[in-house]
Amino acid sequence: MANKKRYNILNELMNIEFQAHYYYIQAAAWAASRNLDGCCNFFLKHAKEEYSHVMKIFQYLVDLGEKATFSDLPKSDINANDVEGIFSLVYEHEVGVTKAYDKAIANILEEKDNQIFCFLQWFASEQDEEMALCRRILDKIKLIGSGPHALYLFDQEMAKIASES
């Protein structure tokens, strides 16, 4: 694989992580506008985590002597009617991120670039954790049902999860 292609893959992943950072901030704004402080804090914490992924890839590119290039953020409007809707959107977003990593890793493996493959394994593990967390949250939403008391309890649970992770 030409070096340029490898670095394009890394830059693409860095931009996907930056988009994820932005997406979580938008989800936090959605939650804040509904006075769901626990959900807002959860999303903001995850936005910071996604930003740390951006910086990890950025630093890796710098360490390799390559240029990190940023693309424009696509306009996205997160709009959901309820917490199940917003967490379903977040889950679908994470599915997309996971697919991007799967594709990138497949390309890197095909070219037998063990150095970048090892680097990307950490991100693959992170995506496994993100997907599992989203599924657990969606399961909790279904378990508690709907209604103002359930929403209050769910928001409290999200505050707890945000403070623990």
Span 135-153, average pLDDT: 88
Report whether 47 contacts 24 (CB < 8 A). Answer: yes
Q: Which fold has domain 3-74+104-164?
A: Ferritin (1.20.1260)
Known binding-site residue numbers: 17, 50, 53, 94, 127
Domain boundaries of the chain, sorted by first residue: 3-74+104-164
Report whether 157 contacts 33 (CB < 8 A). Answer: no
Interior/surface letters 99-129, b for 16+ CB within 10 angstroms, e for the rest: ebbeebbebbeeeebeebbebbeebeebbee
Span 44-57, average pLDDT: 98
Model confidence at 1, in pLDDT bands (50, 70, 90)?
very low
Known binding-site residue numbers for Fe cation: 17, 50, 53, 94, 127
pTM to 2 decimal places: 0.92
Span 96-121, average pLDDT: 95
